[in-house]
Amino acid sequence: MIKSMTGYGRHRQVVDGRDILCEVKSVNSRYLDTNIKMGRTYSALEETVKQYAMSRVSRGKMDIYISIDNIAGDDNGLSVNEKFLESYVNLLRDIKERYSLGGDVTIQTVAGRNEVFVQTRPDEDMEAVGKALTVVLEQAFDSFTAMRAAEGEKLEEDLLGHLAVLEGIRDNIAERAPLSVKENNEKMRARIKELLDGVAYDEGRLLTECAVFADKADISEETARLSSHFAQFRKILKENVPVGRKLDFLVQEMNREVNTIGSKCNDGEIAKAVIEAKSYVEKIREQIQNIE
């Protein structure tokens, strides 16, 4: 089953006294590009998150946001910055006396200054935090993967629809090709007779030239290779591994065969069919740019 490179997943859970939130989103990218956003306190775990992401995703530009809040401990590590408080209060009193101002320095006065309070946290056990984080990461990535799989199903449906149209065009071209060669040979013979205007000519040489033209205009190999590419395309879609790069290469080969058919055939109907085929090949190419 193919997966889209576009997806989103989110999970929040309290694990071992820690409120952990993980959000994952991704868009198209030729390679895997992981951007992790988490607090500096837990920056040592970024490599763990990156390695986990690489184990679940092979392509895409990913943004991973992680928030960890330790809510288990009763001690919040809050204390008073006594040096700042003393300087602050003395400064206020000095201003009051120097400028003959009214009012008193109260608890409300100092409580509004963030610098008065200092919050310290004890060093956390990063191994324990990593284990708790992995629990939430797995759930977020499960949700993320489910969305990518659902998008992949829609992409597969569209791709198979375009492929079916291409197969129909290929069949029409293959059916028209022999008639086109025959018609062109007849036109060539008629034109030569018209130009020679009764002058004797070598019938064997004319037949040889017609045979050479028919060989140059023969597109049976190209239509056969297209059929092979179509079958391989369907087979690749069923693989349970990332297939975006494989499909991209295969579509390039399809486009090459269609272009060759267009350059070989001197036929209006086939030319129209080639233009239509190229438009559907391009639609497929655009779609697979979003496949992992």
pLDDT of residue 46 exceeding 90, the answer is: yes
Q: Which helix (H) or strand (E) holds 8?
A: strand 7-15
| Nearest alpha carbon to residue 253 among 219, 283, 222, 287 | 222
> Could you give the CA distance from residue 284 to residue 286 in angstroms, rounded to a whole number?
5
Amino acid at the residue 39:
G
Model confidence at 185, in pLDDT bands (50, 70, 90)?
low
> Could you give the CA distance from residue 254 to residue 286 in angstroms, rounded to a whole number?
14
> Could you give the CA distance from residue 234 to residue 254 in angstroms, rounded to a whole number?
13
pTM confidence score:
0.70
The tens digit of pLDDT for each residue in 250-276 reads 999 999 999 998 887 777 888 899 999
pLDDT of residue 120 exceeding 90, the answer is: no
Q: What is the mean pLDDT of residues 114-134?
A: 82
**In the prediction, which pLDDT does 268 show?**
80
Amino acid at the residue 270:
I
**In the prediction, which pLDDT does 23 show?**
97
Coil, strand, or helix at residue 205?
A: helix
Q: What is the mean pLDDT of residues 274-288?
A: 94
Query: How high is the mean pLDDT of the chain?
Result: 85
Q: What is the mean pLDDT of residues 71-86?
A: 75
pLDDT of residue 124 exceeding 80, the answer is: no
pLDDT of residue 192 exceeding 80, the answer is: no
CATH of domain 7-73+126-149: 3.30.230
Q: What is the mean pLDDT of residues 126-147?
A: 94
Residue 246, CB half-sphere, CA atoms under 13 Å: how many? 16
pLDDT of residue 5 exceeding 90, the answer is: yes
Look at the alpha carbons of 38, 39, 44, 45 in this order and tell me if their dihedral is positive or negative.
negative
Of all residues in the chain, the percent with pLDDT exceeding 70 is 84
> Could you give the CA distance from residue 3 to residue 254 in angstroms, rounded to a whole number?
22
Residues 6 or more apart whose CB falls under 8 angstroms from that of 99 comprise none
Model confidence at 244, in pLDDT bands (50, 70, 90)?
very high
pLDDT of residue 75 exceeding 60, the answer is: no
Helix, strand, coil percent content, the chain, rounded in steps of 5:
65, 15, 20
pLDDT of residue 177 exceeding 90, the answer is: no
The tens digit of pLDDT for each residue in 201-229 reads 556 665 565 555 555 657 888 889 999 99
Residue 1 or 140, more confident: 140
* DSSP string of 124-186, one letter each residue: P-HHHHHHHHHHHHHHHHHHHHHHHHHHHHHHHHHHHHHHHHHHHHHHHHHHHHHHHHHHHHH
* 105-119, 189-203, 211-225: range with lowest mean pLDDT: 189-203
Q: Which helix (H) or strand (E) holds 58?
A: none
Domain parsing of the chain, residue ranges: 7-73+126-149, 78-119, 150-288
Model confidence at 33, in pLDDT bands (50, 70, 90)?
very high
Which whole-number Å values give the CA distances from 160 to 5, 76, 234, 235, in the listed order? 19, 59, 8, 11
